[in-house]
Amino acid sequence: VTKIGVLTSGGDAPGMNAAVRAVVRTGIYYGLEVYGIMRGYTGMVENDIIPMHSRSVANIIQRGGTILKTARCKEFLQKEGRQKAYNNLKDLGIDGLVIIGGDGSFRGADVFSREFDIPCIGIPGTIDKDIAGTDFTIGFDTAVNTAVESIDKIRDTADAHDRLFIIEVMGRDAGYIALHSGIATGAEHILIPERKTDMEELISSLQEKERRKKLVNMVVVAEGDEFGGGDQVAALVKERLPNVDTRLCILGHIQRGGSPTCLDRLIASRMGYSAVECLLEGRHNVMVGILNNRMQYTLLEKAVKSKQKISDEWMKIVKILAS
Ligand code: ATP
């Protein structure tokens, strides 16, 4: 490879900038020309591609969001769209790609690479941490720490007023943010998509707490929990515990923003560096991940959403520590 492109695609995640910086600077170090592709695959299709220099990525390692912007691109789902994208890359002489995104973005890269024989390397960037082949995804640590900070603040006001709080955190398919932030803030209950929650048990546990006047309670709910997220849970709790002052707080998009944590910057830097090395070594269609502190290369087609197996032990710990 001599000219590479880098893009961020799908949902944004704090730390993507640190990864872009690592790709650009490693590429330049090895004598490659590096191009930034704007708005994910959209920039590839619409030829919104800019040359990147070492200075283009100055002062971004600490910034949330992504300077390359991100998008979901319908055209790239069609062969014609991908053909257009390929023509644009070919005109510029780009012969390798680094894609920072989630499993959907990897699927796109895999299809594209098979059609046009352009090596693509994926870097897992998603706050959900639900990708097979890696212990870390860029953005999770920042998102979960934002959730922890916010829930701590909610606890202060809950305590002042003796309130029960239902707190919804992000996670449509994955409960990692809910599980980790719930444990770290001492939540009484944690509801996640990976496990069926017995709502009657939840209600009776809260009723029992009401009887013994434990009035400050926090229930952390992942947005994709089976019962229907924070709204539904709050409605049920209000109905069944009419004398408890129950409030709902949906943390929402604040979990995506903000300056990335040290851990997210570290893994982004390491993965960005490693992705360029992969291209130089002639690897094709792999995602770079970190497993047991070693770089791990997983075929893009295998780097799919992974459902976590949440051990019964964690749920037992939650129960014991919140009693
Ligand atoms: P997140 O899970 O954080 O939303 P993601 O990378 O999974 O991130 P998606 O919206 O699923 O986000 O995918 C991003 C883009 O990748 C899509 O908008 C589309 O352009 C492209 N893409 C996804 N699947 C395919 C596919 N099968 N073929 C071609 N392109 C695809």
The whole-model pTM stands at 0.96
| pLDDT at position 323 | 77
Q: What is the mean pLDDT of residues 88-103?
A: 98
Give CA–CA dist 122/15, Å, rounded. Answer: 15
Q: Are 235 and 269 a contacting pair, CB within 8 Å?
A: no
CA–centroid distance, residue 123 to ligand 1 (Å): 14
User: Does residue 322 carry a pLDDT above 90?
Assistant: no
Q: Report, as an integer, the average pLDDT of 44-60.
A: 98
Please report the pLDDT score of residue 270 as a whole number.
98
Q: How far apart are CA 90 and CA 221, in angstroms?
A: 47
Nearest-atom number in ligand 1 for the CA of 71 is: 18
Atom of ligand 1 at shortest range from CA of 72: 18
* Closest alpha carbon to 305 in 224, 231, 190, 221: 224
Q: Give the active site residues.
A: 128
Is 321 strand, coil or helix?
helix
pLDDT over 90 at 275, yes or no: yes
Percent of the chain at pLDDT > 90 equals 92
The pLDDT tens digits for 245-264 are 999 999 999 999 999 999 99
Q: Taking CB atoms and a 6 Å cutoff, what residues make up the pocket around ligand 1?
A: 9-11, 41, 72-73, 76-77, 101-105, 107-108, 111, 126
Chain segment 169-207, per-residue pLDDT in tens: 999 999 999 999 999 999 999 999 998 899 999 999 999
Position 309 scores a pLDDT of 73
Closest-CA residue to 268 (of 96, 27, 23): 23
| Cα 43 to middle of ligand 1, angstroms | 14
Q: Which of the listed residues 7, 8, 9 should we mutate to test ligand 1's pocket, taking the one with most ligand atoms within 8 A of CB?
A: 9
Neighbours of 153 (CB within 10 A): 11
Contact predicate 134/291, CB 8 Å: yes
CA of 250 to the centre of ligand 1 (A): 26
